[in-house]
């Protein structure tokens, strides 16, 4: 039986399949690919992030489904949503649907109140990120973003994670545009005005907006997982009806 491809794109934290624990089972119904963005590798040293490289990784994963076809659904979290949108703008023919989870698409809403306040808070930190140590940057980032303190990184992987965070380009610098004609759902956790503002903006341009408990990772909740699966299934059914 032919399975449609679903490509999962992580944010700044866990990557690959580890970023999508609730969605592993979707491999039963879909050809599920859990990508690693540029600079995310379990063995190699972290690299500076690149919106362009991330976009290319997504497009390569959609260009050939291994059966002579192409295209698929894209599910992306946080910073990963930036490249997902860029891929859909470049090749809307390859992107059957977009599911954007807590999307860090700040350049779309830069002039709106919550985004403007967030950028004003975070920009000074990013301007000196190359002068700071990985752990110092991570500590201050978490304080500003989540108003809490973080335990010092202890394991080698925790230290790599701190470096990856410091090497992420500011989200508000991404060259984003609205995606024309691609079915889109935005899933947020309802906890942070910044992400609700971005979701509201995308909703005004035609996207669906669903809210599920779970903070910055609503995809980890049962309700959020159902929203993702239901949206992709509905887009697939609608496409099948139109094709018949």
- Cβ-contact 7, 72 below 8 angstroms: yes
Class of residue 26 by CB neighbours under 10 A (exposed 0-12, middle 13-18, buried 19+):
buried
3-state secondary structure (DSSP) of residue 84: helix
| Domain ranges across the chain | 5-108+174-243
Cα–Cα distance for residue pair 173/186, rounded to 1 Å: 21
Task: Name the maximum alpha-carbon separation found in the chain.
Answer: 59
pTM confidence score: 0.94
Rounded to 5°, angle at Cα 175 from 232 and 113: 85
State the pLDDT confidence band at 1, using cuts at 50, 70 and 90.
Answer: low
Q: Is the pLDDT of residue 69 over 90?
A: no
> Per residue in 127-140, pLDDT tens?
999 999 999 999 99
* CATH architecture of the region 5-108+174-243: 3-Layer(aba) Sandwich (3.40)
The CA distance from 31 to 154, in Å, is: 36
Chain centre distance of CA 230? 18
């Amino acid at each position: 039986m032919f399975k449609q491809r679903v490509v999962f794109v992580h944010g700044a934290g866990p990557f690959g399949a580890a970023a999508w624990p609730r969605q592993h089972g979707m491999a039963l119904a879909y050809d599920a690919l859990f990508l690693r963005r540029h600079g995310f590798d379990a063995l190699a040293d972290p690299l500076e992030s690149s919106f362009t490289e991330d976009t290319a990784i997504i497009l390569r994963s959609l260009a050939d489904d291994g059966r002579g076809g192409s295209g698929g659904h894209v599910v992306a979290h946080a910073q990963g949503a930036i490249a997902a949108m860029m891929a859909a703008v470049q090749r809307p023919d390859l992107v059957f649907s977009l599911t954007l989870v807590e999307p860090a698409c700040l350049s779309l809403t830069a002039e709106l109140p919550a985004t403007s306040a967030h950028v004003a808070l975070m920009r000074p930190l990013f301007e000196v990120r190359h002068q700071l140590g990985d752990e110092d940057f991570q500590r201050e980032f978490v304080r500003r973003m989540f108003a809490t303190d973080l335990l010092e990184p202890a394991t080698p992987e925790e230290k790599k994670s701190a470096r990856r965070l410091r090497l992420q380009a500011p989200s508000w610098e991404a060259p984003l545009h609205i995606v024309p004609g691609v079915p889109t759902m935005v899933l947020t956790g309802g906890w942070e005005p910044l992400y609700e503002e971005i979701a509201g903006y995308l909703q005004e341009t035609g996207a669906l907006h669903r809210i599920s408990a779970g903070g910055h990772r609503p995809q980890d909740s049962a309700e959020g997982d159902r929203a993702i699966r239901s949206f992709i299934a509905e887009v697939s059914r609608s496409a099948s009806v139109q094709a018949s």
